[in-house]
Structure formats: structure tokens, C-alpha cells
Structure 1
Amino acid sequence: MISSSRCTHLLLLLPLMFSFFVMGFVDLVGIASNYAKADYQLTDTTANFLPSLVFFGFLLFSVPTSILMNKIGRKRTLLLSLCVTMAALLLPVFNKSFAGMLAAFSLLGIGNTLMQTSVTPLLSTVVSDDELSSALTFGQFVKAIASFLAPLIAAWGVHYNVFGMNWRILFVAYMLIAVLAVMVLSATPFSDEKPADTSGLRSTFALMRRPMVCGCFIGILCHVGIDVGINATAPRIFQEYEGLSLTHAGRITSFYFICRTVGCLLGTFFLSRVSNRRFFVLSVVCIMCGLIGFAGFRSETALYLCVALIGLGNSNVFSITLTQALQSCPEYKNEVSGLMIMGLFGGTIFPLAMSMTSDGIGSQLGAVAVMLVAAAYLLFFAFKIQGKR
């Protein structure tokens, strides 16, 4: 029989896991940029500007969000993020111009920044410090479900032209889920902690002087660069090598996120039994093997294997890195959370570098080379991670 305290604990986790699912909506930018490229006849560089708009939000709003949490509370900040996300998903439904798409992706980035910065500190009020790492990993698993569903919903919309909306039916489906998440979170009470001292922008950025905080920040830059890069580049690699249609190639993105989902589940199990450092090294080796395989293999089966290795390897990099950062400065939980989420700006830096390199050499191998540089840093950073669990 489940105790009342256990039942309350699960009820508090439900809206937070719902928020993690909505958080995964940001990953629709990869497949959406590919469809937008076809709709608006864009170059690789211009198409990758759409994901860049999303991730500019992480650069500009993550640290201010950590300060906002100290003023209005974590729950209200999370509710605000869901409302902004709803607006972002609604806009492309009624405004199908390229300018409307730019505005929608910008709002999606702002909403996701508010969400990612506030949800982890709020989660820490529900679970113990010992449970936080595993709960965060499970949240990433829930997030990954939304990520791999996005290309499938878009392909379904294209195939059946649901309500005449084509691939944009994806925005409608996810908007309805966001509405439900707002309702569930609003009805759930939380004991919202408020810090005794509030930090400003200067004192928050001063934490970057600490080697572990700075190293984790760069690590998250590289992680999300690889993540968004594969999301956008893998379908183009299959198109370039195998001559697949965009709809068929878009399924590669779903396969990648399926592998990420499996990797999160495996990480939940193995991180309680294997040291963080060993698991991180194994993860990065998988990423590097997959990226090198893109350069050496041309068969569809081998390319799928490469995507699987990258998906499995990259699935737990963020959770381990964020945990390391928080453990290095436990007295500055909100501030460190804001700084680490700012590192998601790597989703802008790396795709732009990859697209320019690909356009420059006329092949997606240019994008692969940029991701290999990011993976090399992660391998270097792996040996800075504390070996204990």
C-alpha cells in the first residue's frame, strides 16, 4: 500500500515531469528548420539561423531568470515559461510567413530558457539531494520522449495533410500539451524556497572564475552543439549519401532521440553503480566513434549505427555536467543553474559553424568535423570530473 507521504511526493513530481516533457519541444527546431528550408528555399546557413534564434534565448535570459526566481518564486517562473512556450507554438499556426517563423522560434527559446533554469531548483524542493541526480536523469528521459516524437508528428502531418496544416500540425499538438501542463502545475502546491541572499548579475558571472564552473559551462556548450548539430545534420547526411527524401531522412532524427531516450534509462541504472567519470568517458568515446563513422561509412545500416552511438553517448552528458557544477557550488544553486543553462547557447554557435563549414566545402563532412572538435573537448573535460558517484 502506498503511504500518503509517498503519494504526495509522486503528485508533486507529476507537474515537474510534465514540464520536462514540454521542455523537449525545443528540439523540434531541428526538423522544423529542415522543413522551413524546403518551404522557403533557404541555404544551409539560413536554415540553421532558426535554431540559432531559439538558443539566443539561453544566452540572454538564463542568468536574469535566476534573479527573477528570487523575486517571484520558482513555480511562478515555471508557469511563465509554459505560457511563453504556448504563445510560441500558436504563432506559426496563424502566421505562416518567414518573419512569423523567426518570431515563434525566438519566443520558444525564451520560454525554454525560463523553463530549464527554474525546473531544476524547483525539483530540488521535492526530492532529496541524493535523489536529485537520478530525478534529473529521469526528467531528461521524459524530455527525450517529446524530442523523438516531433519528427514523427511532422511526418504524419505531411503524409495525411492533417487539417490542411502539413508539418505545422506539430505546433498544434504540442501547444495543446503545453496548455495541459499549465493546468496541472497551477493546481499543484509547492514549498517554494527563497534564498536568504540574492545575487546580482556581476556576482553571478563572477562564479565563472571557478575552474569547475567554467569547465562545466564549456562542456554544456559542446554537448548541446553536438545534440542540435546531429538533430539538423543527420537527415542531410542521409540525403547526401543515400539520396533519401526529406520526410524519410527526417525519421533519422526520431531514431536519434529514441537512442537518447534509451541512453537516459541506461544512465539512470548505471550511474548508481559506476563512477561519473568512467561513465562520462564511455559516453564521449561512443560520440567520437559515431562521428568518425560518418566520415568513413556510406551504407545506410552503418550510418544508423553511427547515429545510435552518438545518441547513446550524448544522452547523459548534460545531467552529469550539471550535477558536477551544482555540487561544486551548493551555496549558489540558482545562480549556477542560470549559468549552466546559458551554456545551451552552444546550440547557436556550433550549428552556425557547422553550416558555414558545410557550405564552404560543399559537404556535410564539414559539420562532422566541427562536432568532432566539441567531442574532443568533452573527452578532455571527462578527466576533470569527480570520480565518485
Structure 2
Amino acid sequence: MNRHQIQLLLPILFGFFIMGFCDVVGISSSYVKQDFGLTETEANFLPSMVFIWFFAFSVPTGLLMNKIGRKNTVLVSMLFTFLAMLLPLIQYNYTICLTAFALLGIGNTILQVSLNPLLSNVVSEEKLTSSLTAGQFVKAISSFCGPIIAACATAWFGNWQYMFPLFAAITLISTVWLLLTAVPREQAGQNVSSFKDCFGLLGNKTVLWLFLGIVFVVGVDVGMNTVTPKILMERCGMALSEAGYGTSLYFAFRTAGAFIGAIILARYASGKFFLYSIFTALAALIVLLFAQEKWLIWGGVSVIGFACANVFSILFSFALQTVPEKANGVSGLMIMGVAGGAIIPVFMGLATEAVGSQTGATLIIGLCMVYLLFCALAFRKKH
């Protein structure tokens, strides 16, 4: 990759840092609940305000890209994110918080749909998977930093809300940087021009397999974040404050996995890497099903986080390469699959109640991984 390509790539990769801002809703919901004395149900509306838009806006964003281009669509997403960061500073109440996180969710949906294919404007098809993985690494750093920034704002300025002007400033820098970068426009021929055309892409068996793969890998990710503390509390008698470190451990190894994956995928076939990753994750999950000791549970969680770190990027790149002339529509469909993060935990809850322990939830995650294993076997020789 020459110097000019790197100059084009950097502002796009920096956009993935903005993408990670959606994960700040996790720590924010705890602060908002505390500030306004909310019930658990009321506090849980905040994450819902972020998640629901992935289902509602993903496909329309794919169609919007056909009209105004990928770069301009990314810039629109930045505007929504910037406004979301300003609202709590203007006035701070529960309604404003819901509105702010709705704007953040809309902006993040638009960003995820448009930023991923924008990479294909500046990198070759062979480098697309590793570039997407590098973007996920940048996003993971942002997600990891969010709670730390909130804690620092509270410690230094006495108010967690002071993280919002920092996020707004970073968003503005990203917007200006991309605006001033002459990213090549995508070639003509993005002939997905209606909802019917877009959903019609699911008639392609490969696209359908990959869409379901996105649903299940996001389900694995959200499921692991949800079930890890519960397993530690159930089997090891930990308090929630201590068991919560299991989730942090998962994120830490996921970040490391994305970094190493970006290096490996730049040199080796992504199909085989996908297969090895899922085999490893499934083996670790089997250990997790029966583990009773704290160190063994932490080990299983760490390996799963590390092994699954690159699966989303691999599936997404496979989808873009399957129908490259309809990449905008494909991107919208794939990001709509992120709604799997809202669907799979429901089945985990039902399974837990049926079995009477978190083993039920873990089995649901295992079923998701089995599907991903079939995907990996199907695509191991194609990419």
C-alpha cells in the first residue's frame, strides 16, 4: 500500500472510532438510572433506543448511498452523532437522554452501513477483509475507552456528562478530516434502487447464508457479554461488581483478536482463518459449558472473545465480494442483521428458564456457533 492509499485510508479507519461510541450506552444507562432514580425497565430503554434503528434504517441507508454516495452518507451519519453528543449538554433529563441515544443509534446505523463499503473505494478486494478487521480493531478501542473516559470525567470534573463534549469534538474532527479527503467515488452500477430490489438479494443463497451468519455472530457477541457475569455469579458465587470483570476480559481479548486478525488476514486466506476461528471458539464454549472454576471460566470467555473477534468482518467482506455491483444494498442487509443482538438474548432467557441455569443460555450461543461452523465449512475454499 503506497503513501497516497494510506492517506485515503486513515480518515476512513478513524471513522470506526466514532462507530464505537454506540457502546457508551452501556455505561451511560447505569449513570442515567442513578441520576434519575429509574427502574430497571426504564433504564433499559436507553440501549433499546440504540439497537432498534439497526432494523429500521439499515436498508434505507443502503438505498440512500446509491443516490448521494458512500462518503456523503458517512458525513450524514457524523451529523446525527454530533447532535446526539450535544443534546445532554443543552438540557439533561430522561426524555433528552432517550432522544440523544435515538439520534446516536440512527447515526451509528447509517455509519455502519456506509463506512464498511467505503473502504472498498480505497483498498483492493484482496485487502478488504484485513482492512475491515483493522476497522473493527479501532472500534474495539473506542468501545474499551468509553467507560474509562466516563470514569475520568467523573473523577476530574465531578460529572460523567463531560465525556459528551469530548466525543462531540472527536466526531467533528473525524467529519472535517473525511470531508477534506478526496476519497474516490464508487463506480456506477449500484442498481439496487428499491426495498424490493434490496430484499430480493436474499434470494441469492450465498447472501442469505451470510446475512444469517451476521445475525448469529452478533448474537454470540451480545450473548457472551450478557451471560459471562451470570455464569460467574451462578457457579462461583461472585458479586456482580466482581463478575462484571468477566465482560471486560471478553472485550479485552476481542480487541487483541481484532488486532492480530488484521495482520494475519492481510497475508492468509480468510476462509481457512474463519474455519479455524470457529473451531477454536466452539471448543472453548464446550469447556465453558462444564467449567466450575473461576480461572477456567475466564479462560473459556477469553478464548471465545479472541477467536470470534474477526468473524463479523470476514462475513461482511464475503458478502461485499459476492455481489460487488450491489454492494450498497448488500451492506444495508448485513447491518440489519445486527438486530440479532436483540433476538438471540430472548431465546437465551427462555432456555435459561427451561433448564434452570445459565447452561441453557450457553447452549443457545453454542447453536449460533454451530451455524457459523457450517458457514465456515461452506466458504473455506471460496475465499
1:265: which partner in 2? 259
Per-residue deviation at 1:259? 1.0
Give the alignment of 1:249-260 within 5 angstroms.
249-260=243-254
Counterpart check, 1:9 vs 2:5: yes
Whole-angstrom CA distance in 2 between matches of 1:46 and 1:381: 38
Given that residues 192 and 198 in structure 2 are in contact (C-alpha distance below 8 angstroms), is that contact kept between their aligned partners in structure 1? Answer: no
Given that residues 192 and 329 in structure 2 are in contact (C-alpha distance below 8 angstroms), is that contact kept between their aligned partners in structure 1? Answer: no
2:168: which partner in 1? 175
Whole-angstrom CA distance in 2 between matches of 1:144 and 1:32: 17
Structure 1 unaligned blocks of 5 or more: none
Whole-angstrom CA distance in 2 between matches of 1:6 and 1:335: 30
Per-residue CA deviations over 1:19-61 (Å, capped at 9, x if unaligned) read: 0111122233344445556665544x76655433322211111
1:103: which partner in 2? 99
1:349: which partner in 2? 343
Counterpart check, 1:116 vs 2:109: no
Q: 2:177 aligns with which of 180, 184, 199?
A: 184
2:381: which partner in 1? 387
Per-residue deviation at 1:194? 5.1
2:331: which partner in 1? 337
Give the alignment of 1:314-325 within 5 angstroms.
314-325=308-319
Judged with a 3 Å threshold, the aligned counterparts in structure 2 of structure 1 residues 332 and 282 are, in CA distance, closer, same or farther, namely same
Given that residues 280 and 317 in structure 1 are in contact (C-alpha distance below 8 angstroms), is that contact kept between their aligned partners in structure 2? Answer: yes
Per-residue deviation at 1:293? 4.0
Per-residue deviation at 1:260? 1.4
Counterpart check, 1:243 vs 2:264: no
Whole-angstrom CA distance in 2 between matches of 1:383 and 1:75: 35
Given that residues 274 and 380 in structure 2 are in contact (C-alpha distance below 8 angstroms), is that contact kept between their aligned partners in structure 1? Answer: no
Name the aligned partner's letter for residue 62 of structure 1.
S
Judged with a 3 Å threshold, the aligned counterparts in structure 2 of structure 1 residues 275 and 193 are, in CA distance, closer, same or farther, namely closer
Name the aligned partner's letter for residue 115 of structure 1.
L
What secondary structure is seen at the aligned counterpart in 2 of 1:127?
Answer: coil
Counterpart check, 1:130 vs 2:123: no
Whole-angstrom CA distance in 2 between matches of 1:314 and 1:202: 32
Judged with a 3 Å threshold, the aligned counterparts in structure 2 of structure 1 residues 165 and 362 are, in CA distance, closer, same or farther, namely farther
Q: 1:284 aligns with which of 245, 269, 278?
A: 278
Structure 2 unaligned blocks of 5 or more: none
Per-residue deviation at 1:95? 5.0
Per-residue deviation at 1:213? 0.4
1:65: which partner in 2? 61
Per-residue deviation at 1:134? 1.8
Q: Which moved more, 1:368-377 or 1:180-189?
A: 368-377
Per-residue deviation at 1:218? 0.6
What secondary structure is seen at the aligned counterpart in 2 of 1:384?
Answer: helix
What root-mean-square deviation, in Å, do the aligned CA atoms of Structure 1 and Structure 2 show? 2.9
Given that residues 78 and 119 in structure 1 are in contact (C-alpha distance below 8 angstroms), is that contact kept between their aligned partners in structure 2? Answer: yes
Name the aligned partner's letter for residue 262 of structure 2.
T
2:291: which partner in 1? 297
Whole-angstrom CA distance in 2 between matches of 1:238 and 1:195: 53
Judged with a 3 Å threshold, the aligned counterparts in structure 2 of structure 1 residues 345 and 13 are, in CA distance, closer, same or farther, namely same
1:218: which partner in 2? 212
Whole-angstrom CA distance in 2 between matches of 1:49 and 1:370: 24
Whole-angstrom CA distance in 1 between matches of 2:281 and 2:89: 36
Whole-angstrom CA distance in 2 between matches of 1:79 and 1:250: 36
What secondary structure is seen at the aligned counterpart in 2 of 1:383?
Answer: helix
Whole-angstrom CA distance in 2 between matches of 1:215 and 1:362: 32
Q: Which moved more, 1:294-303 or 1:108-117?
A: 294-303
Whole-angstrom CA distance in 2 between matches of 1:36 and 1:370: 31
Name the aligned partner's letter for residue 53 of structure 2.
G
Whole-angstrom CA distance in 2 between matches of 1:37 and 1:294: 32
1:84: which partner in 2? 80
Identity value in percent: 43
* TM-score of the pair, normalised by structure 1: 0.86
Judged with a 3 Å threshold, the aligned counterparts in structure 2 of structure 1 residues 307 and 148 are, in CA distance, closer, same or farther, namely farther
Give the alignment of 1:144-159 within 5 angstroms.
144-157=140-153
Per-residue deviation at 1:201? 1.1
Given that residues 33 and 232 in structure 1 are in contact (C-alpha distance below 8 angstroms), is that contact kept between their aligned partners in structure 2? Answer: no
Judged with a 3 Å threshold, the aligned counterparts in structure 2 of structure 1 residues 79 and 250 are, in CA distance, closer, same or farther, namely farther
